[in-house]
Structure 1
Amino acid sequence: MHAAVGERLLIRGKAVDSPDRHGEIVEVHGPNGEPPYLVRFDDGHETLVFPGTDSSVEHSEQPPG
């Protein structure tokens, strides 16, 4: 998984009644855009995330440069 600051992280709920979590990547701590990521979730909570298979990055549509 690779991401950049400003992109969105989606973590799918693990149980039927668990909601998905959405947040903005505010820091990338791994080399070359790899995890872990500091994520600010939509509820305002910030945490360091090591995304699993239930996660995906919503990449920016802006061209590089």
Structure 2
Amino acid sequence: MNTPGRPWREAVRLGELMNASVGDRLHVHGNTVGQPDRAGEIIEVRGPEGGPPFVVRFDDGHTGLVFPGPDAVVEPRTGEGVPTER
């Protein structure tokens, strides 16, 4: 399982998979000079055991199917009402 906030490239190097849950955020870093980062809420997980691809509603309103690359980070959801593991 991917450690929260760990970049995809490092997770793959360590033999981890990028997993997510509905409500987590996907942050995709711009990979060329001048290209802004993109972020959005994961609204559907289509891969086995929380793996990609993910359906993401980006902050600009665009919704799309995403296969995260090495420039992506899954940020776990936080806030009130979110269950925590015990």
TM-score (norm 1): 0.93
CA distance in 2, matches of 1:36, 1:30: 6
Quote the RMSD (CA, aligned, Å).
1.4
Partner of 2:49, secondary structure, is helix
CA distance in 1, matches of 2:60, 2:19: 24
In the TM superposition, residue 59 of structure 1 has moved relative to its aligned partner by 1.1
Q: Which has the higher helix share?
A: 2
What is the percent sequence identity of the aligned residues?
Answer: 55
In the TM superposition, residue 14 of structure 1 has moved relative to its aligned partner by 1.0
Structure 1: state its 5+ residue gaps.
Answer: none
Which residue identity lines up with residue 55 of structure 1 in the other structure? Answer: A
Does 1:41 find its partner at 2:58? yes
In the TM superposition, residue 16 of structure 1 has moved relative to its aligned partner by 1.3
Which residue identity lines up with residue 21 of structure 1 in the other structure? Answer: R
Structure 2: state its 5+ residue gaps.
Answer: 1-17
CA distance in 1, matches of 2:60, 2:42: 14
Does 1:10 find its partner at 2:31? no
In the TM superposition, residue 64 of structure 1 has moved relative to its aligned partner by 3.5
TM-score (norm 2): 0.71
Partner of 1:32, secondary structure, is helix
Q: Across the two proteins, how many residue pairs are aligned to each other?
A: 65
CA distance in 2, matches of 1:43, 1:58: 18
Q: Which has the higher strand share?
A: 1
